[in-house]
Amino acid sequence: MAASYDYIVYSDGASRGNPGEAGYGAFVMDVRSGQTTELSGYLGRATNNVAEYRGLLAGLHYIRDHGGTRVLVRADSELMVRQLQGRYRVKNPGLLPLYQEAMRLLQACDAWKAEHVPREQNKDADRLANRGIDEAHGVRPREEDP
């Protein structure tokens, strides 16, 4: 249940080419106030899995810096979520330091949970990950429909 968490972070990564031009996104909701924060950035050339972790780390750093202690992570990367849950080992040496940093941030919380969600429930984070790539190339984000 989301109400028992201070923050919910929806995270995503995008890589056009995999590896290719990559960006990350995190859509962070402060459950207490209802305020949302959008985080995105450009990574240069990276794999989709690296971009996924970068989105998560952006959200976790934001939460840590804003005093969050109870965190619900939602992502559409089944690999990343299962690694965080301890169901999959991290075999890729390029992902290991990202995983370790994520676990350090999560374990510093009083409570946390990671859950896999369908892509349809992660549209904001996906939009932000693609924005990270587009803005690096001077593409302005399209206005949202009212």
- Convert the pLDDT of each residue in 115-128 to its tens digit: 999 999 999 999 99
Give how many domains the chain has, as a whole number.
Answer: 1
Q: Name the pTM for this structure.
A: 0.93
**Mean per-residue pLDDT over the chain, rounded:** 94
Q: Determine, yes or no, domain membership for 50.
A: yes
Per-residue pLDDT tens for 46-85?
Answer: 999 999 999 999 999 999 999 999 999 999 999 999 999 9
Q: Determine, yes or no, domain membership for 141.
A: no
Write the CATH number for 71.
3.30.420.10
Query: Domain span at residue 106?
Result: 2-135
Q: Determine, yes or no, domain membership for 82.
A: yes
Three-class SS of the chain: CHHHCCEEEEEEEEEECCCEEEEEEEEEEECCCCCEEEEEEEEEEECHHHHHHHHHHHHHHHHHHCCCCEEEEEECCHHHHHHHCCCCCCCCCCCHHHHHHHHHHHHCCCEEEEEECCHHHHHHHHHHHHHHHHHHCCCCCCCCCC
Mean pLDDT of 27-36: 97
Q: Determine, yes or no, domain membership for 143.
A: no
